[in-house]
Amino acid sequence: MSVFVPVSLEDAFESLDRYPDAQLLAGGTDFMVEISFAHRRPSAVVCLRRVAELAGWRLEGAEVVLGAGITYSELMGPQLSGLLPGLAQAARTVGSPQIRNAGTLGGNLGTASPAGDTLPVLAALDATVVVASRQGRRSVGLDELVVGPKRTSLGPGEVIVEIRLPAALGSQEFLKVGTRNAMVIAVANVALVVDWAGHSVRCALGSVGPAAIRAREAEQFMTSRIDWTSRSVAGEPLAVAEFAALVRAAARPIDDHRSTADYRRHAVGVCAQRAIERILADERQGASGRGAWAS
């Protein structure tokens, strides 16, 4: 086994030229478990932690451009949690402080677990993922990148470098169900965005399918029911119940060691219902956002 610790993308590409089958290592929170439990013995590892181009984030007009190496802890910071509140909420549900300090957004994408907590948020925000190799860059949508459970379309020599998201888009909520608050892999999770300016509702579900699922019919239904001028819903309880039913119908869950398909389907409905209720309640109270929890 060879280990490379490049400090630039150019160095990383060079290592990948020499070892095209090398495993990319970001925060290590998934990969190191496989190594330590001897489930994997890769011939080469390219550690991305010190690659300068993958660190940090910037604003480009109305877009936030996140380096793929950004950690969950960084996503919870005061500025980013204001610009990307749903992503900050999702980041806060990941693991523990230790895990959030190590794990990265690019790693969550690269691992492509059906339970990845940031993935529904990225799906709901229609994230663009920038992938680079020595040959150049390409931009892909989440559904082009994540093609199945723990499967991506990344080719040899390719590295996820950036994630581009709309800044401070509307109201956002993320809810997750697990056996406790900390250190838990999602049984089900839901990201909801209500874009008041664009008159759209986006809802994505995690842990209830091979990859994040956009609940399109539920989105269209709620979009048609919101009065975009008063930011309210006539007959809210019935409309919310129908929304939750459409979310449940969109789920494609399975039974596994973590939960049952039936429970997961129920749970995404409850999460979606609470998410829309919270957003509508915030509007009633004239709150400008729910970012106040962020440290």
Per CB under 8 A, residues contacting other proteins are: 1-3, 5, 25, 27-29, 32-33, 35-37, 41, 45, 47, 49, 95-99, 101-102, 181-183, 295
| Minimum CB distance to other proteins smaller for 26 or for 280 | 26
| Minimum CB distance to other proteins smaller for 28 or for 67 | 28
Residue 98 CB, shortest distance to other proteins, in Å, is 5
| Minimum CB distance to other proteins smaller for 41 or for 257 | 41
Residue 30 CB, shortest distance to other proteins, in Å, is 9
Residue 280 CB, shortest distance to other proteins, in Å, is 27
Residue 40 CB, shortest distance to other proteins, in Å, is 9
| Minimum CB distance to other proteins smaller for 99 or for 167 | 99
Residue 227 CB, shortest distance to other proteins, in Å, is 37
| Minimum CB distance to other proteins smaller for 39 or for 136 | 39
Q: Report CA dihedral (64, 14, 50, 152) to the nearest 10 degrees.
A: 50
Mutual angle of helices 236-250 and 216-225, in 10-degree steps: 170
